[in-house]
Amino acid sequence: MPADRFPVEVQGRTLELSNLDKVLYPAAGFTKGEVIDYYTRVAPVLLPHLHDRALTRIRYPNGVEGGSFFEKNSPAATPSWVRVETLPAPGSTKGRETIDYVVADDLPTLVWLANLAALELHTPQWKIGAHPDLMVIDLDPGAPASLKQCCQVALLLRERLAADGLDAYPKTSGKKGMQLCCPISGTQSADLVADYARRIAQELERDQPKLIVSRMAKNLRPRKVFIDWSQNSAAKTTVAPYSLRAQQVPSVSAPLTWDEVAAGAAGRRPSARPYTAGEVLDRIEEYGDLLAPLLDPGPALPE
């Protein structure tokens, strides 16, 4: 066996790890071994959010400064013990009728994916064979708007959604924006969920036209926060909670408290930068999984 390959046993599964010293985040000196370590340590809170969901990966075999590729189909050398589900491929850019999706239900699968430099993990709002059980609203700031303005919009959305009996839970995107996630009943179609999210976005745009835009045209976005309701389409995915992102540093899509969002909206948060892997692990020690309520069904949306 080459010297840079190491057999390990993870929960009864034998894996071969490789190139653990390879630097995947050059600006931070963060190695593949550290990526695997992060995903291993975050697994207790991450895996429940991946459970039963078709997984799209973004792989960076040469690090975040090298090339990357989206991967939906299971790789050719997928171990036999990895769960693979063949599902319809709505919106496939390659004309596929079905895709053989990997489902990361356990730690060995997560470690195997990390060893493939699958830095980013993205999931749909539905579980396999079911209607959406999540509604996700993406907040994307158009420069010079920033996370501060996203937090302001998030507070408005929280209040509006609460009026319809919906609880919203915030997280950073791990890049420049953030998302609100709402547990819903899992009894309504993706089209209905997207239509509801669009109505709310349009309503808030009418109320706050200098701050909010609900239309996708990029020329409308400068200085405003785009409320992307389309994340609820059956063909769309959103970065999973606790997933790494391919930034200069190993940033993470990190859950927030509403007190932190309020502080961000008021400009009191000390830094608008995303939380990094080490910081997120410390936050889990302090808060546990702030998004645990997403794992239980929520109410139906008003039609």
* Residue 298 belongs to some domain of the structure: no
Give yes or no: residues 98 and 173 share one domain.
Answer: no
Give yes or no: residues 93 and 148 share one domain.
Answer: no
Give yes or no: residues 117 and 139 share one domain.
Answer: no
| Residues 250/134, Cβ–Cβ less than 8 Å | no
Closest CA to 89 of 229, 235, 268: 235
Query: Quick one: CA dihedral 178, 181, 137, 44, positive or negative?
Result: positive
| Residues 168/299, Cβ–Cβ less than 8 Å | no
**pTM to 2 decimal places:** 0.95
Dist. CA 213–CA 215, nearest whole Å: 6
Give yes or no: residues 148 and 42 share one domain.
Answer: no
Q: How many CB atoms lie within 10 A of CB 252?
A: 28
Question: For the chain, what is the domain count?
Answer: 2
Chain centroid, CA 184 distance in Å: 17
In three-state form (DSSP H/G/I as H, E/B as E, the rest C), the secondary structure along 236-295 is: CCEECCCCECCCCCCEECCECCHHHHHHHHCCCCCCCCCCEHHHHHHHHHHHCCCCHHHH
Please tell me the predicted confidence (pLDDT) of residue 58: 98
Last residue of a domain, one of 77, 100, 123: 123
Please tell me the predicted confidence (pLDDT) of residue 271: 55
Please tell me the predicted confidence (pLDDT) of residue 102: 98
Q: How many helices (H) and strands (E) does the chain have?
A: 6, 15
Q: Which domain holds residue 257?
A: 134-275
Q: What are the residues whose beta carbons fall under 8 Å from the beta carbon of 213, sequence distance 6 or more?
A: 142, 205, 220, 221, 224, 225, 226, 227
Closest CA to 6 of 41, 32, 44: 32
Dist. CA 108–CA 92, nearest whole Å: 28
Please tell me the predicted confidence (pLDDT) of residue 272: 57
- Give the pLDDT means over successive 10-residue stretches in the chain (303 positions): 79 96 98 98 98 98 96 95 92 76 98 98 97 97 92 97 98 94 98 98 97 88 95 96 97 96 86 85 97 98 91
Q: Which residue in the block uniquely carries the two structure tokens 């809170």?
A: 45
Give yes or no: residues 114 and 151 share one domain.
Answer: no
Give yes or no: residues 185 and 57 share one domain.
Answer: no
Q: What does DSSP assign to residue 73?
A: B
Pairing of strands 134-141, 169-172: unpaired
Q: Which amino acid is at 165?
A: G
Please tell me the predicted confidence (pLDDT) of residue 270: 55
Closest CA to 230 of 140, 298, 107: 140
Give me the CATH number covering residue 35.
3.90.920.10
